[in-house]
Structure 1
Amino acid sequence: MEVSNIHQEINITPALQARIDELLSHYPADKKKSALLPVLHEVQDAHDNWLSAPLMDKVAEILEIQPIEVYEVVSFYTMYNQKPIGKYMFEFCRTSCCALRGAEDLIDYTCQKLGIKPGETTPDGMFTVVGVECLGACGYAPMMQLGDFYKEHLTKEKVDQIIEDCRAGKIDLHKQDSYTEQ
């Protein structure tokens, strides 16, 4: 497991704790571990979209499980970040359909345009580019996830436009807006 040496403040606010409690209410009291995935999502969202080792330890404490059980899940799934990421995380699908339709070239193009390598974040903290496993939108290849939405049938021109729109603050990562692909 990759562990960031960057300090992250653990801030389990009353609102976050209430959300965790609500999630836990969906499972038997002796099966708190069953809530691990949704709890990790909530905690990550509340902590600048990444999970430090101390924060993962806190999740383990809340769920009354061993820290290694949290580490195993966080290190397995690409949806959990173990180091700070950019405001805009471009998660390019790199499996069969997308790869055959040029995803690797688009990853390279995007990284070159932003001056970073896959897995890195731009110095201004604006962009992170990663390759991920199948996002389940094979008919729309090549594609990527940006926030809660898919960007499909990507081309270099579309990537350029997405970067420009991100820089201009035109993309809301969590709300459907006029920008999303048709």
Structure 2
Amino acid sequence: MIVLGVDPGITHLGLGVVEAEEKGALKARLLHGEVVRTSHKEKAEARVGRIHARAKEALLAFRPEALAVEEQFFYRQNELAYKVGWALGAVLVAAFEAGVPVYAYGPMQVKQALAGHGHASKEEVALMVRSALGLKETPRPSHLADALAIALTHAFYARLGAAKPL
């Protein structure tokens, strides 16, 4: 199963593509990873356009069976939520254009799937990503590690028949 994981953000958006084994322990192979960077000095349409273009390129190049995103929770950061929404919208349009279904997972689900408990630290999750992908080093920056964690989370829940559509 090939999955594109997305850690949504307007300034740093993580994209991680993994190919997960269908059975047995959660083992996967890293196919692609990148962080799309934009600047607050750029016009909004340029930022959103670059994110859309990179997501669409990854979708067309790797033909994943699913796109998985991290659900975002904002309680007092309305402006940040609004701008992250721009990035997520660009990714959703790219998924629609490529005909790829979208799934969403919250932080607790990611921690549960990868570390076995919902209170794992970011470092613990990143180490589990490293282990599942057989990498020599922990993926950096954190936006990339988070995107790969989301992709692996989808692979985990899909195998259980518990994938969560957006």
TM-score, normalised to structure 1, is: 0.24
Larger C-alpha radius of gyration, 1 or 2? 1
Structure number with the higher strand fraction is: 2
Higher relative contact order (CA 8 A, sep 6+): 2
